[in-house]
Amino acid sequence: FFSGAEIAFFSITETRLKALSDEGHKGAKLALKLRSNPQRLLSTILIGNNLVNIMAASMATLIAIRLFGSEAVAVATGLLTFMVLLFGEIVPKTLCAKYSETAVQLLAYPIYLLEQLFFPFLYFLEPFILKLTGGRGLTVPFITEEELKIMLDAGGKAGVLETDEVKMIKNVFDFNDVTAEDAMTPRIYMFALDGNQTLGETREELFKAKYSRIPIYEGNPDNITAILYRNHALMELAQSHTNLTLKSFAKPALFIPSTKTADDLLRQFQQEKRHIAIVVNEFGGVMGLI
């Protein structure tokens, strides 16, 4: 009973319980109320489960001694363990996981009564649980990321959301899983200029360049030192400052580790008002830009 209740209550989502409750299922409404305090619900189930196990063990031992003597205690214990494992754990958990919607509505009533019965004990127990768990008890998300993705797909298929909208929202979920290495332009495809060259020497490359920000290197392309703003360079050319070296007015480059996540990088870009960064490996070698 209690093992099945644990699986039933915590395998069904709160979203589904709310939907069942809105459809008029009274058991689901009560289950939703119980799920509003998951720590108390779990404590009630575990207390009940342990009380039943202790009582069963005590009764089995008492019966074995009375019928067969103390020598039968070991056999009774082994048999009870097997029975509890099979009929008290495996079978009820399997059934309640398979039929969680039905099970949770049926079990809501007795679990609610037991929660009221155990309330005085739970009232004193919960502060200790909170203290041991750092001030936070058990929490269960109202809706999971996977559920929201399923809902987005359903909305897309139903025509409520555009395909591009679904894709854009899904990309937000994946944002913190993407690293700088995943999103960067590899070094072999980077367009960079020698910082020791002058504007006059790089005039043609600057006019043809398709990028607004260009990495500047010292000595070789693996030694990126700064970022050149193309518009700034063209303004200097327009004023005939052809003898200026690129490095003389380039901005210091921002270097980031390849493992930095996209959401962290976006926050850093916003804080530092940057739009480009050089991605480096653990040894400081240039891997690409982003």
Q: Where are the alpha helices (DSSP H) in 135-247?
A: 145-158, 163-174, 180-183, 203-208, 230-238
Q: Pairing between strand 185-186 and 213-217?
A: unpaired
Inter-CA distances, 227 with 10, 14, 187, 210, 230, Å: 53, 51, 15, 15, 9
- Which pLDDT does position 52 carry in this prediction? 75
- Which pLDDT does position 170 carry in this prediction? 62
Return d(Cα 41, Cα 59) in angstroms, integer.
Answer: 27
Domain parsing of the chain, residue ranges = 2-132, 177-289
Query: 156-175 pLDDT, tens per residue?
Result: 666 666 677 666 666 666 66
Angle value at C-alpha 240, between 238 and 246, nearest 5 degrees:
90
- What is the percent of the chain with per-residue pLDDT over 90, rounded to a whole number? 7
More confident residue, 79 or 113: 113
Query: 50-73 pLDDT, tens per residue?
Result: 777 777 777 777 776 776 666 666
Return d(Cα 107, Cα 127) in angstroms, integer.
Answer: 26
Q: What is the 3-state secondary structure (H, E, C) of 249-264?
A: CCEECCEEECCCEHHH
Over residues 80-88, mean pLDDT? 72
Domain formed by 177-289, architecture: Roll (3.10)
Looking at the predicted structure, is the pLDDT value of residue 155 above 70? no
Query: 89-145 pLDDT, tens per residue?
Result: 777 777 777 777 787 878 888 888 878 887 777 777 777 766 666 655 555 555 565
Query: 212-251 pLDDT, tens per residue?
Result: 899 999 988 888 999 999 998 889 888 888 888 998 989 9
Tokens of 150: 């399923």
Over residues 21-27, mean pLDDT? 78
- Which pLDDT does position 86 carry in this prediction? 74
More confident residue, 288 or 145: 288
C-beta separation of 257 from 282 below 8 A: yes
Q: How many CB atoms within 10 Å of residue 286?
A: 20
Q: Which residue has the tokens 């996977």?
A: 146
Query: 262-284 pLDDT, tens per residue?
Result: 888 888 888 888 888 999 888 88
Alpha-carbon dihedral sign for residues 143, 146, 150, 156: positive
Q: Pairing between strand 193-194 and 213-217?
A: parallel
Q: What are phi and psi of 252, to 5 degrees?
A: -55, 140
- Contact residues for 171 (Cβ-Cβ < 8 A; gap 6+): none
Cα Rg, the chain, nearest whole Å: 33
What DSSP letter does each residue of 202-227 carry, written as one string? Answer: THHHHHH---SEEEEESSSTT-EEEE
Return the minimum-mean-pLDDT range out of 142-151, 182-191, 233-242. 142-151
Which pTM value belongs to this model? 0.46
